[in-house]
Amino acid sequence: MTTEIDMKEVDLTNEVDAEKQPMTGDGQAAGGEKNGSVKLKVPDDEVTFTGLSKEELMKVAGTPGWVRTRWVLLVLFWLGWLGMLAGAIVIIVQAPRCKPIPEMNWWNEGPLYQISDLEAFSEGLEGVEAKLDDLNQLKVKGLILGPLHSVQADQSETLDLKAFDPKQGKSKESLKSMMEKAQKKGISVVLDLTPNYKGAAPWFTEKIDDMVEKVKAAAEYWLNEGVDGIKVSDLPVASVGAPWLKLHQTFQSNSTEEIKKKLLMGAVQGISANEVSQLLNTSGVGLVLSDLLSSNEEGGERIKAMDALHSQQRSVGWGLGAAQQDQLSKRAKTSGLIRLYQLLLFTMPGTPVFNYGDEIGLQATQGEKYPKMVWDVEKEPKDDVTEETAEANRTERADIRKWFKSLSDLRGKERSLLHGDYFPLHSSNTSLAFLRLWDQSERYVTAVNWGAKEETLKLKFPPTEGAEWPKTAKVKLATDKDLEVDSAVSLAEVKLGPEQAVLLQFPFTG
């Protein structure tokens, strides 16, 4: 027993000593192996798999089982492919087809902004250039400037359509600089070339054909200088004789597919909607600005005017005082009415035309034709102490401008408002409502009450085939604080307070 125990201790001692030896190649480990080396014994009978040979693979592939499997997979592939093709065809056939977008000119894409007196607006052409960023925020698509040319009232011999009135602009270079900057921002520039704009008769009283010839020559000159269009007043008088045809041809030759289309614009006053329609068909102008909205004060008459002209909406301009170059506030006496008419103009079928300052409700003092423009209404005053009335006026102007911006932005985005179809829904002496829709886009209902009393507008929608009008719509914009945005309103009848307006929205349903 003692001997066996001693021998075990010797073996353990040798193992411990061997573990303490360094793992280097300097000495020999036990069994004649170097330290750190491990011998592996590979079995002699291990076989590596190399796959099937070509002959073996062809032999297996030709067996009946694999042949049937391949045919089944091939048939399933083609059946799946044909099924997807048939499904795609069914979707294409059953899906409603999109209505083609009508031809749109630049003056149909947003509001036009008249600056009749550049000095009152912002100290001449240089001031207009400095305010282009402010106008761009309003999504203005065109500026109508002037008239700027030199003339004395009712004295045709002093007329010079190529020279500026010193109060309006310093030089042609100032106009070109402003135009280049405006056009880079997507704002076109139109010059008003009404000859006798300071006198009683816009075309003087003698030899109107000669005046039209002069306007034609001036139009060619300014179009070559980069102007995007020309406007004239009293269009029915000017567009009668042969010289007008030559003027019209000047614009046709300056408008091609490669070149931006030039606008020949006319303003009219005191004629009916049917006469405006006839004038559009005979004069060849791109846009007619009428006074129908301000001359017709009843809802029924305004609806009739829209009924007569909505099919020609891409050639019709609407304004409240714009044809007379008056601020909107001259006819809309309260801030509520200003907001109401802004909503109406932006949603009517046609191009809205505003005068400078309409976006803030700028008001002229008694006897003042062109009021001084007010700027920076959205900036808070730096002084802690301000006059209470002045601050209230600034806040009100800022709120009106935000309302104007929201309407202009919405009109530019929504196809139903931009060029959609029009349907009358309601009219009374002091209210009206109409529907705007385009193909599969959102539908909009405009409802306005400019009267002094609350009114309930009962809407009558046009008959439709295979679809029903919804029972309710959501409020998109409203002047009435009781009509919260996104709240549901019945489409059967809409209650509006005095001098209130609402724009309702509901989705397309196939």
CATH of the domain at 277: 3.20.20.80
What is the total count of domains within the chain?
A: 2
Please indicate, yes or no, whether residues 289 and 178 belong to a single structural domain of this protein: yes
Query: How high is the pLDDT of residue 31?
Result: 47
- At 1 the pLDDT is 45
Residue type, 441: S
Cβ distance 149 to 193 under 8 Å? yes
The domain of 451 spans 423-506
Strand partners, 500: 449
Which residues does the chain have with pLDDT short of 70? Answer: 1-51, 95-96, 169-170, 254-258, 382-386, 465-467, 510
**∠ at Cα 505 (110, 441), nearest 5°?**
65
Element spanning 415, H or E: helix 415-419
Q: For helices 242-253 and 208-224, give the axis angle rounded to 10 degrees.
A: 10
Threshold 0.85, pTM exceeds: no
Residue with tokens 């003056």: 107
CB 105 within 8 A of CB 156: no
Whether 224 is covered by a domain: the verdict is: yes
Neighbours of 65 (CB within 10 A): 8
pLDDT attached to residue 442: 95
In a domain, 40, yes or no: no
Spatial separation of the C-alpha atoms in residues 225 and 227, rounded to whole Å: 6
137 falls within a domain: yes
**296 and 183 in a common domain:** yes
**pLDDT for 161-214, tens place per residue?**
999 887 776 678 889 999 999 999 999 999 999 999 999 899 998 789 999 999
Q: Is 419 helix (H, G, I), strand (E, B) or coil?
A: helix
- Rounded to whole angstroms, the Cα distance separating 219 from 161 reads 9
Instruction: Indicate whether 485 and 456 sit together in one domain.
Output: yes
- Report helix, strand and coil shares of the chain as percent, to nearest 5: 40, 20, 40
Residue 510 is predicted with a pLDDT of 67
CA atoms of 110 and 408, how far apart (whole Å): 7
Give me the DSSP letters along 296-364. Answer: --SHHHHHHHHHHHGGGGGGEEE-SSTTTT--GGGT--SHHHHHHHHHHHHHSSSEEEEETTTTTT--P
In a domain, 25, yes or no: no
User: In this structure, are 357 and 440 located in the same domain?
Assistant: no
